[in-house]
Amino acid sequence: MRPLLLGVLGCSLLLSVRAFYSPDDDVVELTPSNFNKEVIQSDALWLVEFYAPWCGHCRNLVPDWKKAATALKGIVKVGAVDADQHKSLGGQYGVRGFPTIKIFGANKNKPEEYQGGRSSQAIVDGALSALRSLVKERLSGGSSGSGYKQQQSGSGGSGGSKKDVVELTDDNFDQMVLESGEVWMVEFFAPWCGHCKNLEPEWTAAATAVKEQTKGKVRLGAVDATVHQVVSSRYGIRGFPTIKIFRKGEEPEDYQGGRTRADIIERALDLFSDNAPAPELLEILNEDVVKKTCEDSQLCVIAVLPHILDTGATGRNGYLEVMMKMADKYKKKMWGWLWAEAGAQLELEASLGIGGFGYPAMAAINTRKMKYALLRGSFSETGIHDFLRELSVGRGSTATFGGGAMPNIQSVDAWDGKDGQLPEEEEYDLSDVDMDEDFDKDEL
């Protein structure tokens, strides 16, 4: 079996792993570029699986998902989204775990969660049950078209809230956009513009999703350029819709991406990552620190630094500074960054094969697969960058944790930031010892 490789998380940890589904399957591979057309604009009922390549349960589901897709061919559409690679789609529909299956029925903007079994028969039964409900709804006079078409006709259900699109004017633009610490995506539109009308539901849905996923750090706004001509003229708006990106203290940038909500959300999340602070570098103090940091990340970078008596505070801070620079450099990957003092976590060191020598040392760990790779080069910005870059292109060698599980983590006190102190030696009072006694004895 070829080794599984740790990869960079921009798109996926496992760039080298073959996709679960191929064009020969009856499962439609869905991406941000085709999701809107295939699913949202479709009158068909869709079952969509959101999966991640590293997920064991997703891998187990593949044969049943393919079998169900073949059985439902021509009746119900069956698709799959690599939500690890296309995070915008997963985030848009509230995907928190894998695999998640959603049923896109009458209202495509509010899919239902599939709660049935994971066998092919259970999936087919669930699909047919949803299809019967859809047909009954249509017979009773309910919607017969897709959610997207309803949006276009102005009947509501945009999948977002219009209040999440900030109305910008000549009067509030500078204060709201230029003087704020947030990143803004601003649409300049004209009410009579057909393309602007088509964009409106996508922009609205994206605004709500982006607000939730970035906690308001990236915001979407809109300017009626036919009314607020001062700000529109300032930025040379000539066609509609025009979308510009504003960062504080920088010249605005033209948005060149697609016009679907998925495209807009994806760009917004990239902007959020660009402006997000570097991840926190944490000392391994107990099992909870490791569990929370590594389980929430697809990759954990762990350094074992020399004992404080070997480096002093200055030397240790130098190593930590290198790590913090690398954490900032790779912050888009949303990795976890941890460190421990040599000897503090002996079981962890032993499982990585670095105990007793060679400090500082570093390992990149995938706790979901119980795989790790070791830094073989220098513990420097260049050495660590080369190490992580090699992993990203699938050239790094990996090993498996012994026993297939993380080792026990000991609870230790946090470093106080000071130089270490040698333990005090016990003093002995030798005043009552007659040192001459032994010297008077005859030698044997």
Q: Catalytic residues, which ones?
A: 55, 58, 193, 196
Side by side, the strands of the sheet bearing 100-104 are: 28-30, 77-82, 46-51, 100-104, 112-113
CA-CA distance, 212 to 414, in Å (whole number)? 35
- The dihedrals phi and psi of 319, each to the nearest 5 degrees, come to -65, -45
Q: Mapping DSSP to helix (H, G, I), strand (E, B) and coil, where does residue 262 land?
A: helix
Residue 49 β-bridge partners? 80, 101
Q: Where are the beta strands (DSSP E) in 20-153?
A: 28-30, 46-51, 77-82, 100-104, 112-113
Query: CA 416, 422, 425: angle at the middle one, nearest 5?
Result: 135
Radius of gyration of the chain (CA): 29
Q: State yes or no: cis peptide before 360, omega within 30 of 0.
A: yes
Rounded distance between C-alpha atoms, residue 416 and residue 172, angstroms: 48
- As a whole number of angstroms, the distance between CA 73 and CA 70 comes to 5
Q: Which strands sit side by side in the sheet containing 336-341, from one edge to the other?
A: 281-283, 336-341, 300-305, 361-366, 371-374, 399-400
Beta pairing, strands 46-51 & 77-82: parallel
H-type alpha helices, 110-260: 120-139, 147-152, 173, 194-214, 229-234
CB 323 within 8 A of CB 279: no
> What span, in angstroms and rounded, lies between the C-alpha atoms of 197 and 222?
12
CA angle centred on 196, ends 240 and 198, rounded to 5° = 145
Q: Rounded to an integer, what distance in angstroms lies between the CA atom of residue 100 and that of residue 262?
A: 18
The tokens for 257 are: 């991406």
Question: What is the distance between the alpha carbons of residues 395 and 90, in angstroms, rounded to a whole number?
Answer: 29
Q: Which of 6, 40, 2, 1 is nearest to 396 (CA)?
A: 6
